[in-house]
Amino acid sequence: MMQTIRNKISNIKERITEAFDDIYRPDDLILMDDGMGTVEVILIIVVLVGLVLIFKKQIKAIVNSIMNKISSDANDVMS
């Protein structure tokens, strides 16, 4: 009888331990580097915005020429 109770208690302890294996302790959180992806994405966005500001005139010229070409081609198709 006592052995059966001990086995059941042991099984319960194992299940509780397994259930909490996926939960991070504070020490684990300090060592994790999952947040580095966010910093990298922010740096890429900053670089892209900087490039857009530097080449603003050239980008506008390219976009305007593309839009003019699309507009003239659309007029040719419609007529």
Of the candidates 77, 19, 9, the one whose C-alpha atom is nearest the C-alpha of residue 1 is 9
Domain residues for 62? Answer: 2-78
How many structural domains comprise the chain?
Answer: 1
CA distance 5 to 54: 74
Residue 72 has pLDDT above 80, yes or no: yes
pLDDT (tens digit, 9 = 90+) per residue, 8-48? Answer: 888 888 888 777 776 766 666 666 666 667 788 899 999 99
Q: Using an 8 Å Cβ cutoff, are 28 and 21 in contact?
A: no
CA distance 43 to 47: 6
- 3 — pLDDT class (breaks 50, 70, 90): confident
